[in-house]
Amino acid sequence: MNIKTGSVHSFHGRDVEVLFSRDDITSRLQALAKDIEKDYHGKELVVVGVLKGSFLFMADLVRCISLPLTCDFLRVSSYEGEHSTGDVRMEFDMTQPIHGKDVLLVEDIVDTGNTLRHLLSHLKAKQPSSLRVASLLFKETGRNGRSLVDYIAFEVPNRFVVGYGLDYEGQFRSLPFVGAFI
Ligand code: IMP
């Protein structure tokens, strides 16, 4: 299948418009990784992925970053279907201590910013030396915490997006592109 930006495909009974193709993502991640390498030159990073949505983004991003780093994960949930419940639940926490470490938190998407605010205060309490955020997507709704995010791969319109890690009721995560329901 030729999956190009702007094309529409049917998956799990839904029409999905491709917003960012696999190629778009690959080249954007290389640029993002260069920025991260510049900012963390001479340092060692702890990259913390927020499951489940960030798993593909994190896997591809860390392979582009030429710095010594370790990986860890935590898991939160706040969405039911297409809507945020507003209630962020930590389902499991990361395992390594980050006191005095340079931490890069990796998110799939920042929408209202609720999840991120919750995670930042949770991680700050562990006293890392520095804490920054990389998000694959940022919704252009204006109501959220743009200033909380240091590295953004793509901005997206206020539509429900799926693919490349992001799901709708557990499906669509394995699509190799980011798409929006139409
Ligand atoms: P926030 O707390 O409103 O910023 O939402 C953040 C979390 O909600 C993300 O980590 C996603 O898991 C989920 N989310 C928000 N918008 C979407 C979307 O358009 N598609 C899939 N998941 C989303």
Residue 163 DSSP code: B
What is the predicted pLDDT for the residue at 112? 87
Reply yes or no on whether 102 is catalytic. no
Instruction: Check whether 85 has a pLDDT greater than 70.
Output: no
The count of structural domains within the chain is 1
In-domain check, residue 8: no
Average pLDDT over residues 10-18: 96
pLDDT tens digits, 97-122: 999 999 999 999 999 898 999 999 99
Provide the domain limits for residue 123.
Answer: 21-159
* Percentage of residues of the chain with pLDDT beyond 90: 85
In-domain check, residue 54: yes
Distance 119 CA to ligand 1 centre (A): 14
pTM: 0.95
Give the atom of ligand 1 at the shortest distance from the alpha carbon of 118.
Answer: 2
In-domain check, residue 170: no
User: How far apart are the C-alpha atoms of 47 and 94, rounded to whole Å?
Assistant: 11
pLDDT tens digits, 57-75: 999 999 999 999 999 999 9
- CATH number of the domain that 58 lies in? 3.40.50.2020
In-domain check, residue 143: yes
Q: How far is CA 169 from CA 20, 25, 29, 57, 140, in A?
A: 21, 23, 26, 19, 23
- Residue 115, ligand 1, Cβ within 6 A: yes
Is residue 143 classed exposed, middle or buried when 0-12, 13-18 and 19+ CB atoms within 10 A define those classes?
Answer: exposed
Please, what's the b/e burial string for 62-97 (b: 16 or more CB within 10 A of its CB; e: otherwise)?
beebebebeeebbebebbeeeeeeeebeeeeebeee
- Residue 156, ligand 1, Cβ within 6 A: no
Distance of CA 154 to the CA centre of its chain: 10
Confidence grade of residue 88 (pLDDT, cut at 50, 70, 90): confident
